[in-house]
Amino acid sequence: MSLDRSVLLFAGVMVLVSVLLTSFVSGYFVWFTVFIGVNLMQSAFTGFCPAAMVFKAMGIRKGCAFE
C-alpha cells in the first residue's frame, strides 16, 4: 500500500471513529471531525500532512501526492 492510500485510509477511519464517538459518547466529539476535515483541507493546499510524515517514518513507500 502506498503512502497516499495509507493516509486516505487513516483519514477515513478517523472520520468514522469520530462520528461513532459523537453519536454514542458526546456531541463534543464533533470537533474531532472538524479537526480532521480542516487538516485534510490544509494538506490539500500545502502538501504538509503529519500522518504522511509518520507513515513515511514507518517505512511505507511513497506515492505521488506526498513527495
pLDDT surpasses 70 at 67: no
Asked whether residue 63 is assigned to any structural domain, the reply reads: no
Answer whether 0.85 is exceeded by the pTM: no
Upper half-sphere CA count for residue 48 (Cβ side, 13 Å): 3
64 in any annotated domain: no
Q: Is residue 45 part of a domain?
A: yes
Question: Count of domains in the chain?
Answer: 1
* Residue 16 forms part of a structural domain: yes
66 within domain boundaries: no
Question: What residues contact residue 14 under an 8 Å CB cut-off, 6+ apart?
Answer: 32, 36
Do the domain assignments include residue 39?
Answer: yes
> Which residue type sits at 65?
A
Relative orientation angle of helices 30-46 and 3-24, to the nearest 10 degrees: 160
Mean pLDDT over 44-60 rounds to: 91
* pLDDT, average across residues 4-29: 95
Domain span at residue 16 reads: 3-57
